[in-house]
Amino acid sequence: MSHEQKAQFAVVGHPNKGKSSIVSTLSHNDNIGISSRSGTTEKADRYTVTTDHGCYDLIDTPGFQRPTKVLKWLNQQCSNTSERAQTVVSFVNNSECQRNFPDEVELLKPMTEGAAILYVVDGSRPYGPEYDAEMEILRWTGQPSMALINPIENSDCIDEWENALTQYFKSVRVFNPLKADFEKQIELLQTFAHLNPKWSNQLKQIVKDLLQKREQQCHDSIIVLARLVDDLCQYQQCQKVLTPDQAKQVRPLLEKQYKHWMKQREEKAIKELLANYAHFQTQFSLDQFDLPPDLFDCDEWYAWGLNKKQLTSAAAVAGAVGGAAIDLAVAGHSFMLGAIGGGLLGAGSAWFGADKLIDVKVKGLPLGGYQACVGPIKNRNFPYVIIGRFVHMFRQISQLNHANREALNFNATDFQEKVALLEKSEQKELHRACDLLIKQKPVDNLADVLMPLFRADTD
């Protein structure tokens, strides 16, 4: 496909107004140079967004440096309106202009090759007449165009900008590359489809593809979690020794290795999650988690997994207590604990196994010697903690814009509310699955059981 036929958009404007940020967010590419230093982008860079059935180009460009002088040059060369676009081509090809106005030559060249224009301004700073020269030059190219107002610090000057921009652009939209969620990105792409009728079908297909891809990414994330929670619930760290005494001695080491493995396994899942959403530069550290800093800090588990009341319900559902209590328990009836009384509580606390964080076993081997083993974890809240943490990370990562270059920081979770928002039947399925997991039994439909936790309506 030649550049002419393929939909292509040059993102242009003043230096340091978020042009590269917009390209980064729309192309889901976190490898594009963004910085608070003005003049970061020095050359026009073309980024192709490829989907299953199509592609389009976004062109990141350097900002205007000397628009007034450039407009003067153009006016000197051309007095006939019908020759303006041709004059821009002459400007781009003129070696003297290439020396004197390298930024403008770079930024205008894509338009001489058929690119549409996305003009970016900062909605937190007032409009000024110095922008008129930029907008006038863009008009000379004769290319389809629209304006994007990026409210970098605030929205104070948006109205003022809208009044100025509508003089030059038929379409004006507010778009914040750091905050715009996936739906907003799709909306913007749909606006692009109107800019040039020749591109409208391609772009509609691309929108369809992107929506489908988004669903696939969610599905793949659920699979990552299913494998993670299964692995963590199964894991055991063992070592052969000669005497029971030696088994005692290796215990602290085994525990350390065990925890190390679990932590690395969780980190691997987060890296897979990041890669699934094309975040390859994002830094994170599990040690920086405010809540809980440590996967093995049992006291913090109620914050990440289920709370005590929910765990009691889970116990009922999983069959630790009689069937009649189940519906009451799932309904979360306030009188449940009182009505069912000590029976359920008794069963419950044994069932929780809170003080049995990690099982340590020593067993004799048939050919002599002993084996000391650490794990698997017996605490009933454990699978929920893993699921709760992951679902929380999923939400952050799936909504992280590629223009956002800050390190990830997870500090709160509303997993318990999420579970409470599930349909009763979905809650039961989840509790049954976690019951099997903590017993190291296979759960055939684990991904299906986890899926409701990833639904948008539980956000």
Ligand X SMILES: Nc1nc2c(ncn2[C@@H]2O[C@H](COP(=O)(O)OP(=O)(O)OP(=O)(O)O)[C@@H](O)[C@H]2O)c(=O)[nH]1
> By the criterion CB under 5 A, which residues form the site for Mg ion?
19-20, 40-41
* Nearest CB to ligand X, comparing residues 40 and 371: 40
* Nearest CB to Mg ion, comparing residues 20 and 29: 20
Q: How far apart are CA 96 and CA 102, in angstroms?
A: 10
Among 8, 27, 29, 41, binds ligand X (CB under 6 A): 41
* Nearest CB to ligand X, comparing residues 62 and 376: 62
Residue 15 tokens, joined: 């230096």
* Nearest CB to ligand X, comparing residues 20 and 313: 20
CB 258, min distance to ligand X, A: 41
CB 223, min distance to ligand X, A: 33
Asked if residue 127 lies in contact with residue 115, where contact means CB atoms within 8 angstroms, the answer is no
Pairing of β 145-150 and β 116-122 = parallel
Single out the residue of 4, 51, 3, 44 nearest to residue 27, CA to CA. Answer: 51
- Element containing residue 337 per DSSP (H, E): helix 336-340
Among 44, 47, 63, 413, binds ligand X (CB under 6 A): 63
* Nearest CB to Mg ion, comparing residues 28 and 333: 28
Q: What is the largest CA-CA distance in the chain?
A: 100
Segment interacting with ligand X, rule: CB under 6 A, options 17-25, 197-205, 299-307, 427-435: 17-25
Task: Output the DSSP codes for 165-218.
Answer: HTTT-S-EEE--TTT--HHHHHHHHHHHHHH-GGGHHHHHHHHHHHHHHHHHHH
The pair phi, psi for residue 79, each rounded to 5°, is: -115, -5
CB 158, min distance to ligand X, A: 13
* Nearest CB to ligand X, comparing residues 16 and 86: 16
* 38 binding ligand X? (CB under 6 A): yes
* 15 binding ligand X? (CB under 6 A): yes
* 20 binding ligand X? (CB under 6 A): yes
* 115 binding ligand X? (CB under 6 A): no
Q: Tell me how crowded residue 311 is: count the other CB atoms within 10 A of its CB.
A: 24
Residues in the chain: 459
* 18 binding ligand X? (CB under 6 A): yes
CB 123, min distance to ligand X, A: 9
* Nearest CB to ligand X, comparing residues 177 and 452: 177
Q: How far apart are CA 205 and CA 228, in angstroms?
A: 35
Site for ligand X, residues 319 to 358, rule: CB under 6 A: none
The pair phi, psi for residue 85, each rounded to 5°, is: -60, -40
CB 35, min distance to ligand X, A: 5
Residue type for position 114: G
Segment interacting with ligand X, rule: CB under 6 A, options 10-18, 192-200, 286-294, 379-387: 10-18
CB 402, min distance to ligand X, A: 11
Among 7, 8, 21, 427, binds ligand X (CB under 6 A): 21
- Residue 126: Cβ-neighbour burial (10 angstroms; 0-12, 13-18, 19+): exposed
Q: Tell me how crowded residue 425 is: count the other CB atoms within 10 A of its CB.
A: 10
Q: Tell me how crowded residue 291 is: count the other CB atoms within 10 A of its CB.
A: 14
> Is the bond preceding 62 in cis, omega lying within 30 degrees of 0?
no
Among 1, 2, 4, 36, binds ligand X (CB under 6 A): 36
CB 177, min distance to ligand X, A: 5
* Nearest CB to ligand X, comparing residues 22 and 269: 22
Q: How far apart are CA 281 and CA 410, in angstroms?
A: 17
The helix, strand and coil proportions of the chain, stated in percent and rounded to the nearest 5, come to 55, 10, 35
Among 16, 100, 246, 371, binds ligand X (CB under 6 A): 16
Buried/exposed code over 131-144 (b: 16+ C-beta within 10 A; e: otherwise): bbbbbbbbebbebb
CB 64, min distance to ligand X, A: 9
Residue 308 tokens, joined: 């005590």
CB 313, min distance to ligand X, A: 43
Which among Mg ion, ligand X, none contacts residue 178 (Cβ within 5 to 8 A by kind)? Answer: ligand X
- Element containing residue 376 per DSSP (H, E): strand 370-377
CB 108, min distance to ligand X, A: 15
Residue type for position 399: Q
The conformational region for residue 369 under phi > 0 = left, psi -120 to 50 = alpha, else beta, is: left
Which among Mg ion, ligand X, none contacts residue 35 (Cβ within 5 to 8 A by kind)? Answer: ligand X
> Mask of contacts with ligand X, 175-194, x by CB under 6 A?
-xxx----------------
Q: How many chain residues bind ligand X (CB under 6 A)?
A: 21
> Mask of contacts with ligand X, 142-161, x by CB under 6 A?
--------x-x---------
Q: How far apart are CA 293 and CA 209, in angstroms?
A: 39
Segment interacting with ligand X, rule: CB under 6 A, options 39-47, 280-288, 350-358, 370-378: 39-47
Residues in contact with ligand X by CB under 6 A are 15-21, 34-36, 38-41, 62-63, 150, 152, 176-178
